[in-house]
Amino acid sequence: MLREKWALVTGCRRGIGQSVAITLAEYGADLILNDLTISDEDEVAVAVRGLGRKALCLSADIASPESVDAMFAQIKEKAGRLDILVNNAGITMDAMAHKMTFEQWNKVLGVNLTGTFLCCQGAAKMMTENKSGKIINTSSVAGFIGNIGQANYSATKAAVAGLTKTLAKELAGKGVYVNAVAPGFVETPMTEKIPDELKQQMIAKIPGYRQCRHFSRVSVVGLCNRSDNPDQWRNFHGVTSRSKRDG
């Protein structure tokens, strides 16, 4: 389904990113695996190669323009092309807004928003040359309903939705289709750090009132594999992964 396609997944050493990367490999894609630090020995790289696909590991700080430029230079040199970008990398540094430090605010914006933009920019330059490509950004339900203690995180995810809509309009005529998924409260190493009281407040806003254990990877793969017919694309595709009752 995705044979001979190169897919870059950011923030993929663990959690949702790891799951998405492995699923793309299961569908036939070769993977460019990014995280702040990542190596051939990491579980995700081993899993991708175990499926018979290529795994190019590139450590990079996506909040740094220089680091992102260097990463895309390596992609061009070693892979020669980029067909799919999944902007998954994201962090949280929670605090009530009146107690939030500038560092907490700025670091989350740097990774979640600036990092997403920089990777979109780098991917768009390569994809427009080939007049073909898919970009999938990661927003969040938090960007639409807000979360107590997450002014920084919620702001970035709302901004990613707006960024996605804008890039979709800018790039559609160049053969590059930009979309986004908006997961609900998914059980990952990142969400494990959230205090239980705040976690329960977030879960209370989710249909089913339970934390989701498994992100719907098929949603991302479906967007990566969708037809290039513009009539089949929307500027923002709100796929909300939420908990479901057993059975």
Catalytic residue numbers read 153
Distance of CA 225 to the CA centre of its chain: 16
Which pair of tokens denotes residue 199? Answer: 């976690």
* Nearest-angstrom CA–CA distance, 142 and 150: 8
User: Within 13 Å of residue 195, how many CA atoms lie on the same side as its CB?
Assistant: 11
Listed in sequence order, the residues at least 6 apart from 90 whose beta carbon sits closer than 8 Å to its beta carbon are: 11, 111, 112, 138, 153, 156, 190
Please report the beta strands in the chain, taking only residues with DSSP state E, as ranges in sequence order: 6-9, 30-35, 55-59, 84-87, 133-138, 176-181
* Whole-number Cα distances in Å, 61 to 13, 51, 112, 144: 14, 27, 11, 27
* Nearest-angstrom CA–CA distance, 69 and 59: 12
DSSP result, 201-227: HHHTTSTTSS-BSS--HHHHHHHHHS-
97: left (phi over 0), alpha (psi -120 to 50) or beta: alpha
* Nearest-angstrom CA–CA distance, 50 and 52: 5
Counts of helices then strands in the chain (DSSP H, E): 9, 6
